Structure 1
């Protein structure tokens, strides 16, 4: 037990040193010579202080990202090796004889413990964004969001885990296939209700109050053959100074949403470009393609997880205090493998997302015919979010679902 934990902590420590070396000493984030002096060069649209702050903030934010994910893996390993997952299962069985309620009790203990250990990193991320002027939330509002997030995830986990382990116990050889089949309507349902049930738990949404701007946006939507009746804005200024807009939901619940910070800091023609970009996602059905892609990845992930769990339990089950895959205390191993596989697949997922975002940029330019507004919009996005114009390669492939600001502005400058 001590050997397993020592090796895990040692590997994590070496990984941390590598990430620090890579982000702070090795990675080159300077602008290539051929783009010096162009509108893609941050020296042309950021003050020296803004450029320095964007580099500092991005480095720290990237460091937290790369530390947080394997830190979760380390937590799951320690929970398994110390036998805590087995104890949680025993407590659940001692509390009630009902299998469904045992899952409720077990997940409460597991979720609470994981939250206790991950909350410090979340707080550091909050304080970092606060110090650099990105986050505007008070501590009480931040804590409220964390509590809401805990209970939303907990309720979803109870539903998913209850069904998952019922399938494992009933169909040990093919549980992954049946779980995948059930995941399809579940994902579609969540995507459908997210704009009207989940998102309003965190923020207030309402139709765009600037009716003159809404008229212009709806005229743009009509030009794109989109049957839109409203554009929604959300009060994000009480939480952040960053800018954003997005498309969410499917079917009649689909929405185009603007952050109020975007409305406050961007000019009208810049907002129209942003809206045209989001309309591009709608026209090209990127949300539907995204759902289909995730469904395919879930199939591959569940199949691989089934194989890996059985192999790991057969070889190291005694060390992990797991007798077979049917036991509820094997859940941390399931979550560990799912997280590992998700992280491994993230470069592919992000590459597809960057392709879609580039296609939406091109669509927006073809619709608005205004490259100057597009360039200035991206420059303001950089300034407001203190984003790196040219992030390190590893950061790009593991974190960026959008092309970099450098790539987006260079494309606009060369677009014909």
Structure 2
């Protein structure tokens, strides 16, 4: 039975991959509707022929890697249960020490390490792809350093969450999901609070914006929006990427306005001010807190569904999966599998909410700056720097895009320009 299930799983993954290869490379099209051709949203008006070709090639391959990554993770979880490797992790932990308190950390290390090795091929392909298309400027040793930081942060997070989770499972197999969710609320807020000052600096160096004149303009805008910001931070990303970004993260006193140095190097001050106004729009409309509330609501539903589905699956395939009960540590891959599938399945909904918020932030930014030419130029330059598609295929938009497409964003700005030209 385990062999049949394994063969079926691998076959399903193969067919899934072939479907998305056909969809992305043969069936779908990113061509613009006729009415948008020749407008500022048409990539042919701001990209040369070579850039257009590279954008299509890079986007299609990157999108394929995205659609393969989650099922690849699911395949890993299923196969380590079916093959008994998951039971080996537990056995190795039991053989390594007589003290139960150390067995879970040892199990988690082997689980995380083998999972890291399983994910490494797709990571290497993604890194190689971004280097080939000159998106990434990062050296391989630097990339591996970031990968190792990822590994230890993920391992440390599991080391905090998993012992608590299985304590709850042993105490109450019917209500563990509710208690786990209740504990996740302060933990999520704590992680958001410490991320800007403890986690982000592990990857990059942050320092106050060097351009004090630009910082003064940004802080003036922040003051008008009643945002309590004293500094704008710059991060050295040029040694890792040619892409551009700006964001506000953290909560409370640890919130930060951050600009990548690539953004500072490639955009004009007016374009940067539009992007900063966009980020301020999120603050003014409280998108961060709405996002936290939405995430916590989805996590509550997700944990409940994980409880129900795990009970149902173990009733049918407990012996095949070699997971005797929900409170056995060997159920961890099954819990993570279910949660990952639920997150992937719910991503069109969460992305739709995010796109709405991003569109609101765009509208706020253009109303604040009243400079549509600078705004359009910033989006065009973002498209060029990231070799992104202006009008991505439907499934790519639904599952990948937390922002409106560049076609939608630039078209909104053109409409604003036309309306205010008449006034």
Q: Which interval holds the TM-score relative to the shorter structure?
A: over 0.9
- For the residue of structure 1 that corresponds to 2:368, the secondary structure is helix
- For the residue of structure 1 that corresponds to 2:207, the secondary structure is strand
Aligned to 2:80: 79
Aligned to 2:239: 238
- For the residue of structure 1 that corresponds to 2:110, the secondary structure is helix
Rounded Cα–Cα distance in structure 2 between residues aligned with 1:147 and 1:289: 32
Query: Residues 34-45 of structure 1 correspond to what in structure 2 (within 5 A)?
Result: 34-45=35-46
Aligned to 2:100: 99
Aligned to 2:408: 407
Cα displacement string for residues 284-303 of structure 1 (whole angstroms, at most 9, x for unaligned residues): 11111111111111100000
Deviation at 1:84, TM superposition (A): 1.1
Rounded Cα–Cα distance in structure 2 between residues aligned with 1:377 and 1:191: 28
Deviation at 1:221, TM superposition (A): 1.1
Rounded Cα–Cα distance in structure 2 between residues aligned with 1:100 and 1:375: 57
Query: Residues 227-266 of structure 1 correspond to what in structure 2 (within 5 A)?
Result: 227-266=228-267
Rounded Cα–Cα distance in structure 2 between residues aligned with 1:377 and 1:256: 18
**More off after superposition, 335-344 vs 86-95:** 86-95
Residues 191, 249 of structure 1: 8 Å contact kept = yes
Deviation at 1:100, TM superposition (A): 3.2
In structure 1, list runs of 5 or more residues that go unmatched.
none
Aligned to 2:211: 210
Aligned to 2:369: 368
Rounded Cα–Cα distance in structure 1 between residues aligned with 2:150 and 2:19: 31
Aligned to 2:314: 313
Deviation at 1:96, TM superposition (A): 2.5
TM-score of the pair, normalised by structure 1: 0.99
Cα displacement string for residues 164-194 of structure 1 (whole angstroms, at most 9, x for unaligned residues): 0111011111000000000000000000000
Rounded Cα–Cα distance in structure 2 between residues aligned with 1:140 and 1:227: 38
TM-score of the pair, normalised by structure 2: 0.97
- For the residue of structure 2 that corresponds to 1:206, the secondary structure is strand
Rounded Cα–Cα distance in structure 2 between residues aligned with 1:168 and 1:100: 16
- For the residue of structure 1 that corresponds to 2:222, the secondary structure is helix
Cα displacement string for residues 288-338 of structure 1 (whole angstroms, at most 9, x for unaligned residues): 111111111110000000011011011000000011101001100011001
Aligned to 1:220: 221
Rounded Cα–Cα distance in structure 2 between residues aligned with 1:228 and 1:75: 44
Cα displacement string for residues 103-126 of structure 1 (whole angstroms, at most 9, x for unaligned residues): 100011111111111101101100
- For the residue of structure 2 that corresponds to 1:213, the secondary structure is helix
Aligned to 2:135: 134
Rounded Cα–Cα distance in structure 2 between residues aligned with 1:99 and 1:163: 14
Aligned to 1:200: 201
Rounded Cα–Cα distance in structure 2 between residues aligned with 1:151 and 1:25: 40
Rounded Cα–Cα distance in structure 1 between residues aligned with 2:184 and 2:97: 28
- For the residue of structure 1 that corresponds to 2:258, the secondary structure is strand
Rounded Cα–Cα distance in structure 2 between residues aligned with 1:51 and 1:197: 40
Rounded Cα–Cα distance in structure 2 between residues aligned with 1:238 and 1:370: 31
Rounded Cα–Cα distance in structure 2 between residues aligned with 1:385 and 1:12: 29
Does 2:170 align with 1:169? yes
Aligned to 2:301: 300
Deviation at 1:64, TM superposition (A): 0.5
- For the residue of structure 1 that corresponds to 2:247, the secondary structure is strand
Rounded Cα–Cα distance in structure 1 between residues aligned with 2:247 and 2:103: 39
Residues 270, 376 of structure 1: 8 Å contact kept = yes
Residues 100, 162 of structure 1: 8 Å contact kept = no
Rounded Cα–Cα distance in structure 2 between residues aligned with 1:147 and 1:271: 33
Does 2:105 align with 1:123? no
Deviation at 1:86, TM superposition (A): 1.3
Rounded Cα–Cα distance in structure 2 between residues aligned with 1:255 and 1:88: 41
Deviation at 1:256, TM superposition (A): 0.9
Query: Residues 377-392 of structure 1 correspond to what in structure 2 (within 5 A)?
Result: 377-392=378-393
Aligned to 1:354: 355
Q: Provide the aligned length of Structure 1 versus Structure 2.
A: 416
Rounded Cα–Cα distance in structure 1 between residues aligned with 2:127 and 2:72: 18
